[in-house]
Amino acid sequence: MAAQNGKDLLIKIDMTGDGLFETAAGLRATRISFNAESVDVTSLESQGGWRELLGGAGVKSAALSGSGIFKDAATDERIRQVFFDGEVPNFQVIIPDFGTIEGAFQIASIEYAGQLQGEATYELSMASAGELSFVAL
């Protein structure tokens, strides 16, 4: 796989609840991480005293984060409202030359910042809130 352009990793939010996704405006950096907890089933009978794990038994989760500039676009307003209303809408993450991840996420935090002679910025982090789907490109 050739090197990919970072600007092509996109976080999109379902704007109306009917599958109409729009890219979160103003993002400059995005990140997704996947996690799976392990379930230790080691016992006195474990071969050679090595730890044993139970495959497929742990809780899976994903975390999304992004940072960028505040543009007061429709997506900025939607993200703020989702946070304050405690909604758990669907998001899409487009990973170039890999695929699309889609599912419900809860916005865990939003941070706004600004400097006297600079633009207003924001950072957000989200946690998966259900099963995610993956469609390969």
SS3 109: strand
Residue type, 79: I
pLDDT of residue 109: 96
Q: Kindly state whether residue 95 falls inside one of the protein's structural domains.
A: yes
In this model, does residue 134 exceed pLDDT 80? yes
| Confidence grade of residue 89 (pLDDT, cut at 50, 70, 90) | very high
Give pLDDT, residue 71.
Answer: 78
pLDDT in tens, 27-86: 999 999 999 999 999 999 999 999 999 999 999 999 999 999 977 788 889 999 999 999
For residue 2, is pLDDT > 80?
Answer: no
95-109 tens-digit pLDDT:
988 999 999 999 999
Q: Tell me, yes or no, whether 32 lies in a domain.
A: yes
Domain range for residue 54?
8-136
User: Is 94 part of any domain?
Assistant: yes
Average pLDDT score over residue span 107-121: 92
Q: For the chain, how many structural domains are there in total?
A: 1
Let me know if residue 130 belongs to a domain. Answer: yes
Q: How confident is the model at residue 7 (pLDDT cuts 50, 70, 90)?
A: confident
Q: Name the pTM for this structure.
A: 0.86
The answer to whether 96 and 52 have CB atoms below 8 angstroms apart is no
Q: Is residue 1 part of a domain?
A: no
Q: Provide DSSP, 2-41.
A: ----GGG-EEEEESSSSS-EEEPTTEEEEEEEEEE---B-
Q: Is the pLDDT of residue 136 over 90?
A: yes
Residue 3 falls inside a structural domain:
no
Give the pLDDT band (50/70/90) at residue 5. Answer: confident
CA-nearest of 10, 7, 9, 32 to 23 is: 10
CATH classification of the domain holding 42: 4.10.410
